[in-house]
Amino acid sequence: MTRSDSRLPPKSLNHPATLASARQTLELEAQAILALKARLGVEFLQAVELMLSCQGRVIVCGLGKTGHIARKIAATLASTGTPSFFLHAAEAVHGDIGMIGAQDLLVALSYSGTGQEVLSILPAAHRLGVKVIALTGNPQSELARLAEVHLDIGVAQEACPLNLAPTSSTTASLAMGDALAVACLQSRGFGPEDFARSHPGGALGRKLLTRVSDVMRSGSALPTVSATATMSEVLEEMSRKGMGMTAVLDPQGKVIGIFTDGDLRRLIEREGDIRALNVTAGMTPSPRHISAEALAVDAALIMDTHRLNHMLVCQDDGVLSGAVHMHDLMAAKVI
């Protein structure tokens, strides 16, 4: 072992002891969370009321490992309807305290409740009239006494066998943050669509935010023919636009039918020579259609249920707006 390497030399792994240690860690951290549940009361309700009434942003601050937990709490709040951001306690005293506004709410995390970096933020916050929610493991600490609301996140024992490394205490802090976020979420009536707006790049966001109009083909990319089109004209339009179908329109642009690759095969099988026929001889009249404002996921459901590769998009009066292909939905990752 070199001077620059403080790691202990590896030992042969004792499998039963290792599993026992892991189970003990999980047991201690589970006990820490259950202890929080038993302590929830008026102070928790006051904290939620402060968050719900906040006209600005909920600023969550901490330092070290508690700072990592504070950052995650801020991210959870922000993604569940409570505007929030993380403030690093050490950076705050070097200028970042200017991020705090008079309409904000400060949530300060310090397990000991004596961290000077966190405590140094409070005078500036109070001068602005900003209220403080403190999460500490010591109700008698200075931070607990200076806060408008204190939430006790104390644990009986850290999972660390030395009782030094923050383990049970950081788990308890994170769980309390989640409890606050979910309580605010439910009080606001925050639903799946609200969640999707905060996660536009995720699968849920794509499903709940993507409209048919976002994925449909329209304009010059849309295959259309009139009801008098010959089969050669139909095939030329289908080949040129590459959707495997064409919409059949009346003179007002309203849909009267759809002609697909499948319709073509069935027409040839039935008639043999189709050169003298027009499109109405083989089209599917009154085809299924959907509104451009409908969710793309609803279009996918209809198409899957009825085994359609494409579906027309129409206005309320039946005028064609576009068409959507199953491949378009797959490319948009709606399905």
- Give the bridge partners for 284, in sequence order: 258
- Please tell me the pTM assigned to this model: 0.62
What are the structural domain ranges in the chain? Answer: 21-190, 212-331
Going by their DSSP bridges, the two strands 320-325 and 310-314 should be labelled as: antiparallel
The whole-number pLDDT of residue 6 equals 61
**Residue 287: CB partners within 8 Å, gap ≥ 6?**
255, 257, 258, 311, 312
Rg (CA), the chain: 31
- Give the bridge partners for 150, in sequence order: 134
Q: Which residue's entry shows tokens 């644990």?
A: 155
CB contact at 8 A, 260 and 285: no
Amino acid at 290: I
Residue 3: how many CB atoms within 10 A of its CB?
5
Q: What are phi and psi of 195, to 5 degrees?
A: -60, -40
Q: Which of 119, 124, 120 is nearest to 136 (CA)?
A: 119
Q: In what order do the strands lie in the sheet with 255-260?
A: 224-226, 245-249, 255-260, 284-285
Residue 79: how many CB atoms within 10 A of its CB?
16
CATH topology assigned to domain 21-190 = Rossmann fold (3.40.50)
Task: Encode the chain (335 residues) as per-residue pLDDT tens digits.
Answer: 445 566 666 667 888 888 999 999 999 999 999 999 989 999 999 999 999 999 999 999 999 999 999 999 999 998 888 889 999 998 887 778 888 999 999 999 999 999 899 999 999 899 999 999 999 999 999 999 999 999 999 998 898 887 778 899 999 999 999 999 999 988 887 666 655 555 555 555 555 668 888 889 988 899 999 999 999 999 999 999 988 899 999 999 899 999 999 999 999 989 888 888 989 999 999 999 999 988 888 888 898 888 888 899 999 898 999 999 988 888 877 76
Q: Could you say which of 3.10.580.10, 3.40.50.300, 1.10.3720.10, 3.10.20.340 is the CATH number of the domain covering 212-331?
A: 3.10.580.10
Q: Within its chain, how far is the Cα of 127 from the centroid?
A: 36
SS (H, E, C) the chain: CCCCCCCCCCCCCCHHHHHHHHHHHHHHHHHHHHHHHHHCCHHHHHHHHHHHHCCCCEEEEECHHHHHHHHHHHHHHHHCCCCEEEEEHHHHCCCHHHHCCCCCEEEEECCCCCCHHHHCCHHHHHHCCCEEEEEECCCCCHHHHHCCEEEECCCCCCCCCCCCCCCHHHHHHHHHHHHHHHHHHHHHCCCHHHHHHHCCCCHHHHHHHCEHHHHCECHHHCCEEECCCEHHHHHHHHHHHCCCEEEEECCCCEEEEEEEHHHHHHHHHHHCCCCCCEHHHCCEECCCEECCCCEHHHHHHHHHHCCCCEEEEECCCCEEEEEEEHHHHHHCCCC
Polymer length in residues for the chain = 335
Q: Helix crossing, 168-188 with 42-53: angle to 10°?
A: 60
The whole-number pLDDT of residue 10 equals 66
The whole-number pLDDT of residue 94 equals 75
What gap in Å lies between CA 145 and CA 148, rounded to an integer? 8
What gap in Å lies between CA 154 and CA 151, rounded to an integer? 9
